[in-house]
Amino acid sequence: MKKFKRHNSIPRKKTVTHHQFLIRARKNDMKVSIFGNNGSASQRVATALKTGLTAAGIEIDSLNPDIVVTVGGDGTLLSAFHHYSDRLDKIRFVGIHTGHLGFYTDWRDYEVQDLIDSLVEDNGQSVSYPLLTIEVEYADGTHSDQTLALNESTIKKVSGTMVADVYIKGELFESFRGDGLCISTPTGSTAYNKSVGGAVINPRFNAIQMAEIASINNRVFRTLGSPLIIPADEWIRIEPAKSTDNVLMCDQLSIEGRPIKAINYQIARQRISFAEYRHTHFWQRVETSFIGRERP
């Protein structure tokens, strides 16, 4: 069987002197925010990173950063994404993982100095991925501002089964009955979506996916019964049968619990950008995370 070529070992850059660091950092005039979680490992790495960046002449600025370095896991990067979601056009993200490699985290905690070298030599290289917009229409006639999700949005019911009509591009598609529905981005396809049987999608596709969470399929209730993927010029509308008692999630955040009339989902105009100092093949990342077979 053909194996994916491994190229997670990038060539190490030449060591530069402290003086060269300062000149390059000033030339770049880059501002960096360090966004960590409360774990002791994350705080230790964040402190080392801050010391190293300051020594390299890079300004730490959590209000108006050019680059946000997260220290933790994919969950930490999700939190940083929501923290800076109104500045996505100005920011690139970089993730350091304090455990295993993640889906949004390309750097390991013992590679802090390599990352500082890359930041000093930064020339704006980036890669961007699609996001999901969520717009909620409430039963009282008001509607929410558009909210962005990096992984997914789920709609479920607190107790009992959720009944909802699903429209695609304005046409009634199916009437769902079951635990809930999960609408995800390509980068979120390896998260909740995968746990409910959704397909893993390469994030180069500009698409969103809807996966069912335990749908009831019998002679009375009938849904497609498989995940579906729609392109950027289509949208999904979900109208829950009862406006109360629904739980609407956007990544790890719950959206205000007012009675909901409908939720509209589409690919967002905005995208998330990452500083691409190294490239990990998407399918290699998937294989390492979920299969991880022993190699001879």
Tell me which residues are annotated as active site: 74
Smallest gap, in angstroms, from Cβ of residue 99 to ligand NAP?
A: 6
- Which spans of this chain sit near ligand NAP (rule: CB under 6 A)? 73-75, 78, 102-103, 151-152, 187-188, 190-192, 195, 251-252
**Residue (30 or 191) nearer to ligand NAP, CB:** 191
Smallest gap, in angstroms, from Cβ of residue 245 to ligand NAP?
A: 19
Smallest gap, in angstroms, from Cβ of residue 213 to ligand NAP?
A: 9
| Calpha distance 266→232 (Å, rounded) | 7
Distant-in-sequence contacts of 22-28, Cβ < 8 A, 24+ apart: 22/56, 22/57, 24/120, 24/121, 25/56, 25/57, 25/58, 25/119, 25/120, 26/57, 28/58, 28/120, 28/122
**φ and ψ at 160, to 5 degrees?**
75, 180
| Calpha distance 278→9 (Å, rounded) | 9
Residue 202 labeled ligand binder: no
Residue 179 labeled ligand binder: yes
Smallest gap, in angstroms, from Cβ of residue 39 to ligand NAP?
A: 11
Token readout for 8 is 């997670």
Those residues whose C-beta lies under 8 Å from the C-beta of residue 47, and which sit 6 or more positions away, are none
**Residue (128 or 243) nearer to ligand NAP, CB:** 128
Bridge partners for 228 per DSSP: 210
Residue 142 labeled ligand binder: no
Residue 8 labeled ligand binder: no
**Residue (25 or 267) nearer to ligand NAP, CB:** 267
Going by the annotation, the residues of the binding site for NAD(+) are 74-75, 151-152, 177, 179, 190-195, 214
Going by the annotation, the residues of the binding site are 74-75, 151-152, 177, 179, 190-195, 214
